[in-house]
A and B are shown apart, each in its own frame.
Chain A
Amino acid sequence: MEFFLISLLNGVSYGLLLFMLASGLTLIFSMMGVLNFAHASFYMIGAYFAYQISTWVGFWPALVIAPLLVGGLGALVEKYGLRRVHKWGHVPELLFTFGLSYIIVELVQIVWGRAAVPYQVPAELQGPLFTLFTTSFPKYRGFMMLVAVLMLVAIWLMLTRTRIGLVIQASLTHPETVEALGHNVPRVFMLTFAGGTALAGLAGVIGGNAFVTEPSMAALVGSIIFVVTVVGGMGSLAGAFIASLLIGVMQSFAIAVDYSGIKLAQDIGFTVTPATPLYSLFQLSVSQVAPVLPYLLLVLILIFRPKGLMGTREG
């Protein structure tokens, strides 16, 4: 029970972090048709900016300033880079962001070096939030969940209740009509891209100190968020939410389980020795398989439900 609850809480907080990233990616994708390959790189930049700003003025200002800076950077990238290649179609756009992710990793190493930087949880948020039976749940995890949920509510309110949100929603499906009504669609695109990257930056600010702020952090999370968007259904925010929680919870359970094929075989009455065929398969414990699970889920989803959990379109 204790293990179950703690794993669930950890999984949900990790899943919410994934959702902060996946929501920006999904918004950008459904709006502009651009798969932002550099999305995780903006997450990384968010973490590094937050580290730098927090060494000057502390964590709390960084929580606000860093995402804004990342969003501004995103706007510049959209205006001077993406918009130029837009006329050549989606593949060059994707390749542009792919090249950008290369450059950003190198720039980060040029400025901050190759080793991890000491970006730490602020003193106010250190320590346990509450203790379940014998395991304590850290305060910072609770803070992460709080920020993610606040952000979720804010996006939802903005998309459904404000004028700009309505314009964004309309531009998703009918860009020509929106343009004919006198709205500046390229500017809406730029704002969406900036907003999406700012969300990634915010995820970086609160994820960077929960995990490690290092040049490889973008690559670690990058492919997982692509899995999330495909599993949830391309362009579906609700699907991305469910898929992030699913993958977050699955990962945190799998890492903690030390159950292997050998034990399974013993439980059903077989003995597995090194002489058994496929011994190395039996030997693997669930925690060892954990890194592969999201991708297995991806493949299974593609075979049995190609449009994703909540997706509406195929291909």
Chain B
Amino acid sequence: MTTSVQSGRPVRFQPLNVGRWLVWGLTAVLFAVIPLIFKSGFAITLLSQMGILIVFALSYNMIFGQGGMLSFGHAVYSGLGAFFAIHALNWVGAGTLPLPVSLIPLVGGLFGALFGVIFGYVTTKKSGTPFAMITLGLGEMVFAASLMFPGFFGGEGGISSDRVVGAPFLGISYGPAIQVYYLIAVWCFVSMIAMFAFSHTPLGRISNAVRDNPERAEFLGYNTQRVRYLVLIASAFFAGISGGLAAINFEIVTAENVSALRSGGVLLAAFIGGAMFFFGPVIGSVIFVLFAVALSEWTKAWQFYLGVFFVLMVMYAPGGVASLILMNLRVAKYRLFAQLRDPYVGVLMTGGVLLVGIILVVEMSYHLTLNFAAGSKTSIFGFTMDGADPAFWVMAFGILISGALSFEAMRRYFAREWGAVQEKIEDQLRREQRG
């Protein structure tokens, strides 16, 4: 039963959905072209990690956004998949396993699904908050256990491997990073299509019903526990694929791959992007990698900024970045954007001042506590700030407070105008329906 779901039995689309073909076609072109635009080694690293996280975040969203199961232990499946994938890679290198490197992610996927079968049986007995706590506990258990078996998990150092094994196939040896990027891109694209198709299968649809109204779904004759279980197994399969891709990309897998940090990260990525939309986690993954890989090059406080960004999203935009985009598109569609132009300018400018204030204060204090040996001076935005000099602190807090006050005023103005515009749109919608 599960295999038929995972391989994605041909889904009956509408006769010819031009828009859908166009979107997927453009996605494929984007995957192919983007490394030709951003050519630097760092950009390729970023893109590869984005591809891996996109698969992981979409698989997470199968249970979170579409199935309504908030999990704090999804890294278990990707991490265990990654461990089996890297062992498989080592066996390929030793010549004991005749498998092309390109298919290694499939090993990760299969073992991810296997652990989905084992762990999912326990976790999906519950839903809601207890499910969240159980997945957290299970994640901790796997993490603790992974340090107990150094033979398989490699202890603190992890398991490392070499992906350049076997004879090059059509000149593809996976030595250069760009070849690995294209491997990831192909797997990412195929997984995206498969997961999108899954969301349109009867099982995918029923999982939405179980999310929204489990009681009603039970009355219709569906076993909600079984639905959750099957969806979790499918999701664990794709998580395992992302783990396999990570194993090939980094050539090392450590206990950190199954840790709560990883599980929390994928939750952040999916939520920031927008869990209620299929493409939300894709946006979220791009943003998350920009924070975790690009911003961390600049500042040690990137987790602070990410945490604040996440909390702000939870408080003001629970639909994620995807919902923000769609709402603004709707405003543009009804040609009401002119009314929002001034509020937008105001909010963005005062928000910018506030952000500069926050960054100054955070960076100066971080530099003082963590990097004291290097002296009290630090360079922010090209200016040299001296954390030992009170004048700089007065300036930083001055910017912070004036930014906060003006931003709050602008935010209220914006909220008022935004509400008025949304009301107009609702009004027009109602009139259209009647007419």
Binding site for B on A (CB under 8 A): 29, 33, 35, 81, 84-85, 88, 90-92, 94-96, 98-100, 102-103, 105-107, 109-114, 219, 223, 226-227, 229-230, 234, 280, 284, 288-289, 291-292, 294-296, 298-299, 302-303, 306, 315
What 0/1 pattern do residues 119 to 130 of B give for CB contact below 8 A with A? 000100111111
Q: How many residues of B contact A (CB 8 A)?
A: 43
Binding site for A on B (CB under 8 A): 70, 122, 125-130, 132-134, 136-138, 140-141, 144-145, 148-149, 151-152, 260, 264, 267-268, 271, 301, 303-304, 306-308, 310-311, 314-315, 318, 362, 365-366, 369-370
- List of B residues within 8 angstroms of A96 by Cβ: 311, 314-315
- List of B residues within 8 angstroms of A91 by Cβ: 70
Minimum CB distance partner of B149 in chain A:
A280
Q: Is the CB of B264 within 8 A of A98?
A: yes
What CA separation (Å) do A234 and B132 show in the bound complex?
13
- List of B residues within 8 angstroms of A81 by Cβ: 311, 315
Q: Is the CB of B314 within 8 A of A35?
A: no
Q: Is the CB of A102 within 8 A of B137?
A: no
Minimum CB distance partner of B313 in chain A:
A99
Interface of B is mostly: helix
Contact (A92, B304) CB under 8 Å given A98-B264, A295-B137 = no
CB distance from A179 to the nearest CB of B (A): 24
Q: Is the CB of B141 within 8 A of A292?
A: yes
Extra pairs beyond A106-B304, A227-B137 (9, CB < 8 Å):
A85-B315, A95-B314, A98-B267, A102-B304, A114-B370, A226-B133, A230-B134, A295-B137, A295-B144
What CA separation (Å) do A112 and B260 show in the bound complex?
24
Query: Can you sample 18 A-B contacts with CB below 8 Å?
Result: A29-B129, A85-B315, A96-B315, A98-B264, A99-B310, A102-B306, A103-B311, A105-B303, A109-B370, A110-B301, A110-B362, A110-B365, A226-B137, A289-B148, A292-B144, A298-B138, A299-B122, A315-B127
Contact (A103, B304) CB under 8 Å given A111-B369, A302-B134 = yes
Contact (A99, B129) CB under 8 Å given A292-B144, A295-B140, A295-B141 = no
What CA separation (Å) do A315 and B225 show in the bound complex?
11
- List of A residues within 8 angstroms of B268 by Cβ: 99
- List of A residues within 8 angstroms of B152 by Cβ: 280
Q: Is the CB of B148 within 8 A of A302?
A: no
Interface of A is mostly: helix
CB distance from A228 to the nearest CB of B (A): 10
**5 residue pairs, one from A and one from B, having the closest CB atoms:** A102-B307, A295-B141, A106-B304, A99-B311, A103-B307
What CA separation (Å) do A284 and B318 show in the bound complex?
46
CB distance from A298 to the nearest CB of B (A): 5
A230 contact from B127, B137, B144, B308, Cβ within 8 A: B137
Minimum CB distance partner of B365 in chain A:
A110
Q: Is the CB of A102 within 8 A of B303?
A: yes
What CA separation (Å) do A268 and B137 show in the bound complex?
33
- List of B residues within 8 angstroms of A280 by Cβ: 149, 151-152
CB distance from A33 to the nearest CB of B (A): 8
Q: Is the CB of B141 within 8 A of A299?
A: yes
What CA separation (Å) do A71 and B303 show in the bound complex?
25
Minimum CB distance partner of A33 in chain B:
B129
What CA separation (Å) do A29 and B130 show in the bound complex?
11
